[in-house]
Structure 1
């Protein structure tokens, strides 16, 4: 698996965990001015997403997808190529503006939004929801709110795919980020969502990654 999720590089000395939205906006704004590099700014979809779509061959025709924390749009563009009518959002206006500029002819609808306060018509509105490497950037209190918030975006008969850096239950970390424990991954199965498959995958940095599927009952 390519090392395309450099989780040890996402923390910012300018940002404490109390303001993750501001921390990422500052990073994206600095990058726009050429004063910083966004570590996850790659020209390909996350490898665990690409491997999953290669294996499952999802048909996006007539189906809506939502990408949480889209950054510059690499995963959103991947899903759009599979035929999904894709909406992608980020809390950083600069990230969204850059994504639109980089993909001027894209069918993806890029929006600035807050996962904890999404547009009302997004609730239960998407056949496929992707949460990749975002929740782990949140401190514990916000993380506990964000995990069920992701699930509320999934439509009846839809599915959620979660990709995250992982850690053991007894493994202490100083974030951000805070890689997710298995219990935190399992917590995405809230309300009508039930787990379909949870994979623990070895990462090049010696850690683990989670790739988990949840289905709407």
Structure 2
């Protein structure tokens, strides 16, 4: 499985290190956390971290892999989020989740991710890149266009960067 990794996304790690990211006193959430590598990294940076996935097996394996973890692993659906999570996180991490979905419901998933960001918060997203004007039609994963990456913008969330990075990926940062 491509999400079966023990290290965080290299794109996430590089960005966090370049920012000197420090999480003490801040809340973070990892969308579609898979087996927990990105969530554990966020917690190691000091964030009070929630990580969720729609797959109960993934959440159970993440909990088993990281016994005693400070991460609050949960089974949850990006398309039907708990109300207490809306606008509740200082840092939202989305790596390859939205692109795993066809459209529909991809647009609804983008709105779900956006809804997690607190006032003054940041969304960090990574996806495989489509260099065309449209998202790829074969997948999953469906490589995403620049326009789709920019569609995270809205509801007070503004793009800081949407950058093509290594291995045909997008790195996008948004702030509210």
TM-score bracket, normalised by the shorter chain, equals: over 0.9
Task: Structure 2: state its 5+ residue gaps.
Answer: none
1:50 to 1, 10, 13: 13
- The 2-side partners of 1:187 and 1:193 are apart by 10
- What is the Cα deviation at residue 202 of structure 1? 3.1
Superposition pairs of residues 178-193 of structure 1, within 5 angstroms: 178-193=142-157
Give the corresponding residue for 2:100: 137
Q: Write out the 4+ residue segments of structure 1 that deviate beyond 6 Å after TM superposition.
A: none
Which secondary structure state, in structure 2, belongs to the residue aligned with residue 141 of structure 1? Answer: coil
Which is worse superposed, 181-190 or 162-171? 162-171
Q: For residue 157 of structure 1, what is the aligned residue in structure 2? A: 120
Residue 119, structure 1, aligned to residue 82, structure 2: yes
Q: Secondary structure at the match of 2:105?
A: helix
Residue in structure 2 matching 1:71, options 14, 26, 34: 34
**Superimposed CA distance per residue, residues 132-176 of structure 1 (whole angstroms, 9 cap, x where no aligned partner):** 011001011110111111011000000100111010225754111
Aligned equivalent of 1:83: 46
Larger Rg: 1
SS of the residue corresponding to residue 52 of structure 2 reads strand
CA distance in 1, matches of 2:158, 2:102: 25
**Residues 162-181 of structure 1: matches in 2 within 5 Å?**
162-170=125-133, 172-181=136-145
Judged with a 3 Å threshold, the aligned counterparts in structure 2 of structure 1 residues 190 and 170 are, in CA distance, closer, same or farther, namely closer
Question: TM-score, length-normalised on structure 2?
Answer: 0.96
For residues 170 and 119 of structure 1, what CA distance do their matches in structure 2 show?
33
Shift of 1:92: 0.1
Residue 146 (str. 1) matches residue 117 (str. 2): no
TM-score, structure 1 length as denominator? 0.78
Distance 1:167 1:196, change over 3 A: same
